[in-house]
Amino acid sequence: MASKLSLFIRLSRPLFLLGAVLLYGFGVGIARFLGTSIDWSLYLLGQGIVTTLQLSAHYLNEFYDAPSDVENNNRTSFSGGSGAIGPGKLTRNTALVAAATSLTLMTSLSVLLLEQVNFSPLIVIILILSFLGAFFYSTPPIRLASSGYGELTTSILVSNLVPAFAFILQFGEFHRLIAMSTFPLTALHLAMMLIFELPDYATDIKYGKQNLLLRLGWQQAMGFHNLLILSGFLLLAMAIGFGLPLAIALPAFLPLPLGLFQIWQMRRIASGAKPNWTAMGLTAVVLFSSTAYLLAFAFWTR
């Protein structure tokens, strides 16, 4: 039983769940910065919706990618699936049942939420877009993960829609601070997604998974990755010019050396150096999460 439980925890990808917790808190922090008193019951209800939707996306991805993930010899902590499904482990049906359960719980929480807040078209639109993006990331016939658009969809969902959802629940309407502070994170998140896909390159070719990496080709994808990191910090600098307070933006530049180090690593790999995909994945996660954390911390403490 203990072994099955540990496998199910691994299947749920708790590390990635923490990312959405951070981005949700980020959105609430902006509302607090603008003078809103936090409604903690709405906070927890909204976070529950985000987490259950994210869990359903994880389980569906594990279900549909199980055949290719079993053959992936380059699995890391960040790519190649959880490794919890296969002979002697959990079955694919476990992931499917878990996805259905998570979606049912998410729907129930959404109904409760809509009963508690005044009708907001923005909230409804964000919920619908988030559901469609999460559900069809892995699910046929759309299967965004194999279309070349899945990475962008996920980056927008995590970096833009989650903070916007959290913010609007508290503030009641959209504000330009959301766009200015989250678009830099979208670029960094998309760069992180490309790094996660690189170890799976050969397996994805075998199974015809036409994700963004395969559509670009590994050489162009590496260059695009570097451009995304630079663009993320450029967007942050531009946001200052459009009104993002300097005291909020400046701390978020602290991870810039890490971003430049990541570009240097990618250029070395492109030149033929042996890659350490686990280290690269960790660097990408720290770069994205530390930038998001520093922005969130600044909003919460100002």
In a domain, 26, yes or no: yes
How far apart CA 86 and CA 143 sit, in angstroms, is 22
CB 134 within 8 A of CB 99: no
- The confidence score (pLDDT) of residue 199 equals 83
In a domain, 110, yes or no: yes
In a domain, 1, yes or no: no
Q: Structurally, how many domains does the chain consist of?
A: 1
- The confidence score (pLDDT) of residue 201 equals 77
How far apart CA 99 and CA 60 sit, in angstroms, is 6
How far apart CA 65 and CA 155 sit, in angstroms, is 20
- The confidence score (pLDDT) of residue 41 equals 94
- The confidence score (pLDDT) of residue 287 equals 97
CB 189 within 8 A of CB 48: no
In a domain, 2, yes or no: no
How far apart CA 61 and CA 95 sit, in angstroms, is 9
- Of the candidates 246, 231, 225, the one whose C-alpha atom is nearest the C-alpha of residue 302 is 246
- The confidence score (pLDDT) of residue 168 equals 96
What six digits make up the tokens of 27? 């959105």
Name the burial class of residue 274, with classes exposed (0-12), middle (13-18) and buried (19+) by CB atoms within 10 angstroms of its CB. exposed
What six digits make up the tokens of 211? 């994700």
Our separate counts of H helices and E strands in the chain read: 14, 0
How far apart CA 167 and CA 26 sit, in angstroms, is 8
DSSP 8-state symbol, 90: B
Q: Where are the beta strands (DSSP E) in 237-282?
A: none
In a domain, 35, yes or no: yes
pLDDT values of the chain reduced to their tens digit, one per residue, 302 residues: 548 889 899 899 888 899 999 999 999 999 999 999 999 999 999 999 999 999 999 999 999 887 776 666 666 666 667 788 988 889 999 999 999 999 999 999 999 998 888 778 899 999 999 999 999 999 998 899 888 889 999 999 999 999 999 999 999 999 999 999 999 999 999 999 999 988 877 777 777 777 888 888 888 999 999 999 999 999 999 999 999 999 999 999 999 999 999 999 999 998 989 988 888 999 999 999 999 999 999 999 98
How far apart CA 161 and CA 188 sit, in angstroms, is 15
In a domain, 87, yes or no: yes
Half-sphere exposure of residue 81, counting CA atoms within 13 Å on the CB side? 26
In a domain, 96, yes or no: yes
Would you call 85 helix, strand, or coil by DSSP? strand
Give the domain extent around 184.
Answer: 7-301
**Where does residue 131 fall: left (phi above 0), alpha (psi -120 to 50 degrees), or beta otherwise?**
alpha
